Amino acid sequence: MAVTVDETEESSLLSTYIVYVTKPEGGVNSMESVDLDSFYQSFLPASLSRSDREQRLVYSYRHVANGFAAKLTAEEVKAMETKEGFVSAHVQKILTLHTTHTPNFLGLHQNLGFWKQSNFGKGVIIGVLDTGITPGHPSFSDAGMPPPPAKWKGKCEFDATACNNKLIGARTFQTDSKPTGGGDAADPPIDDEGHGTHTSSTAAGNFVEGASVFGQANGTAAGIAPLAHLAMYKVCGEAGCAESDILAGMDTAIDDGADVLSLSLGGGSAPFYADSIAMGAFSATQKGIFVSCSAGNEGPSYGTLSNEAPWILTVGASTVDRIFLASAQWNGNGYEGESIFQPKDFPSTQLPLVYAGADGNESAAVCAAGSLSSNDVQGKIVLCERGGGIGRIVKGQTVKDAGGVAMILMNDELNGYSTLADPHVLPATHVSFAAGTSIKAYINSTSSPTAAVLFGGTVIGKKSAPEVTSFSSRGPSFASPGILKPDIIGPGVNILAAWPISVENITNTKSTFNVISGTSMSCPHLSGVAALLKGSHPDWSPAAIKSAIMTSADIVNLEGKPIVDQDLLPADLFAVGSGHVNPSKANDPGLIYDIQPDDYIPYLCGLNYTDQEVGSIVQRTVSCSNESSIPEAQLNYPSFSIILGSSTPQTYTRTVTYVGQGNATYNFELVSLEGVDVSLKPEQIMFTETNQKATFSVTFTKTQKTGVAAFSQGYLNWVSGLHTVRSPIVVIFE
């Protein structure tokens, strides 16, 4: 019966609360919308008139929660505690956004293989919850698109011509622009930020020839599932993404008939009963809808994840093999960096070089606004440090305003070798921490330092790709340490996709694109992959699709070496999860680890949640004392996260389903797990028909060889003549 109230909040101040209540007899799904509104309004203050109650009720949730969103005071919520059926309430949180070549990099080619076999996602509906969309952009053309499936029930809040067979739905859910219930009276879901247009076209943009930004990355742009249908649910704006709006968008997407939900947003770690995305995603999973979410941009520190629930695909970010080469050269040395803005008329000659922070001025070191003197930087290339809470492009504007002719932006130590290609406002290159440190040493060694910035255009074929980028959030999961997260990594660095306006100020075209980075970009890549798999295997559950993606992932880069992180060291499993997505392999995984929605109940009870907390997630009465409560690691998950505090063995079981053809024999293989003894029973499993299941047990025992390592990692593989079904293992030592 908990009510979460900010102690500093005025008791008379109206805030949007999420209110959870006990499901009425027969359930909310069986109620008409008018009856549902009336039921929820019965919890509002009796002193309010009927019209006031209607005004105060912001959203009535049907699928994602037994509850509603309403504008209430703290006193009113306190009084609501005494009403029969009241469970809990809290002030809504504001979540944040996690903000063409990639299909080819992922092995998807227009007339070959899995892309063609999956029919490019035709007939699958991807619902995107984001900042809106730009109708009329060529990426959302319906050329070659069939009408939406008969099950589709969505609406388009643009004018009649804006939606089509590609963009089949568009709704706005924003409490600040629409104070009363439903999305109907809101402004149309135009994308004023660019984020939603970019993520939507990444997931399912149609083929657009001649896409480029500043003349770079020229080619045909396409989403991962270019013939899938799109529906936009605008739940985010300039101020962020309100929790009540996210729940309303997910609720509507479920009702509309979406097959895949893509959410490039999050609010950090929280127990699943207090995590609106986790709760909405569980309801979607119950309806057979796949949910893909960004892991967050708070890396490279450990324990920085969002969207950790095991029924969500949690996606980290990696690089692709394309770079936008911009090199810094000085004193016979040179380091590669990146920039999307590459002016052709910038001289390649050596120019005076200055580091404004040489005298200890930290503001000048990070090129804060107003920190640079024109006397110091006029006509010079300026070395700026990353950080200080100042945007990378803003730093360039500061240099330009002070009369600098170019910028070398160096990483801080935390970001290491992870660089980004930005549309800078002046000639610039973003270089590594090592490069910047070398440049600093050079500047300090001479009275007249000089440098040049050289532009090399778009370069494809970087063999160290994919690399985990520094900003990609890392595990372990706080909400559930016994589940390894993130699940997967995918392209999220320097991604070209649709944009509402021209970043080059070109006014005579709608074919406008931009290059941006974030786990916001990797998430829709995986949403698109899920749509392809849904089209190819319509009978697979969301957990089966997720398993196929995870167990088939790549763990080496293009030159066959381990995937590295921002320090160019082998990335650990808290960074890569199962590895880098390989769509073609995911289409034929051999074995899958399936999970049905009710299988999560013993797992949730095992997290020591109360009956009420578990019930709020699964939306039915649960008695954990009557459930077979299980430890986290016992969930039939495609990976293992084990916490070993002693030498007492821990044994867990898994069940795999054979999704291949004909007879098959799989043999157990363990790869590099130090300090732990692993035994499996049986070590060989045989299948004679599709969909046959087999159960095995695996026992983990801590040995005396662990030393001072905080954790050990490796892989449990099932190997046949055609497949390697790989499950990553992390063992955390206590």
Element (H, E) at 399: helix 392-401
Which residues are CB-neighbours of 40 under 8 A, at least 6 positions away? 19, 21, 57, 60, 67, 68, 70
Band (100; pLDDT cuts 50, 70, 90): very low
Q: What are phi and psi of 41, to 5 degrees?
A: -65, -20
Is 443 a residue whose pLDDT tops 70?
A: yes
Residue 135 has pLDDT above 80, yes or no: yes
pLDDT tens sequence across 677-686: 999 999 999 9
Is the pLDDT score of 270 beyond 80?
yes
Cα–Cα distance for residue pair 110/96, rounded to 1 Å: 35
| pTM: predicted TM-score of the whole model, two decimal places | 0.93
Residue in 60, 88, 101, 130 annotated catalytic: 130
Mean pLDDT computed over 612-624:
94
Mean pLDDT of the chain: 91
The answer to whether 139 and 208 have CB atoms below 8 angstroms apart is yes
Of 98, 195, 424, 537, the catalytic one is 195
410 and 384 Cβ atoms separated by less than 8 Å: yes
pLDDT greater than 70 at residue 225: yes
Tell which wins on pLDDT, 627 or 232. Answer: 232
Is 537 a known active-site residue? no
Question: For the ranges 245-254, 413-422, 703-712, which has the lowest average pLDDT?
Answer: 703-712
Residue 1: exposure state from Cβ atoms within 10 A (0-12, 13-18, ≥19): exposed
Question: What confidence tier does 181 reach under pLDDT thresholds 50, 70, 90?
Answer: very low
pLDDT at residue 106 in the model? 63
pLDDT tens for 514-544 read 999 999 999 999 999 999 999 999 999 999 9
Residues 6+ apart with CB under 8 A from 347: 452
What percentage of the chain's residues is helix, strand, coil (to nearest 5)? 25, 30, 45
What's the whole-number mean pLDDT along residues 436-442?
95
- Annotated active-site residue 520? The verdict is yes
Contacts of 378 (CB under 8 A, 6+ apart): 402, 403, 404
Q: Is 130 an annotated catalytic residue?
A: yes
Count CA within 13 A, CB hemisphere, residue 476: 20
The H or E element spanning position 83 is none
Query: Which of 276, 371, 472, 520 is the catalytic position?
Result: 520
Average pLDDT over every residue of 392-415: 95
- pLDDT reported for residue 179: 42
Please name every residue paired with 718 in a beta bridge, in sequence order, or none if there are none: 668, 725
> CA 488, CA 85: separation in Å to the nearest integer?
40
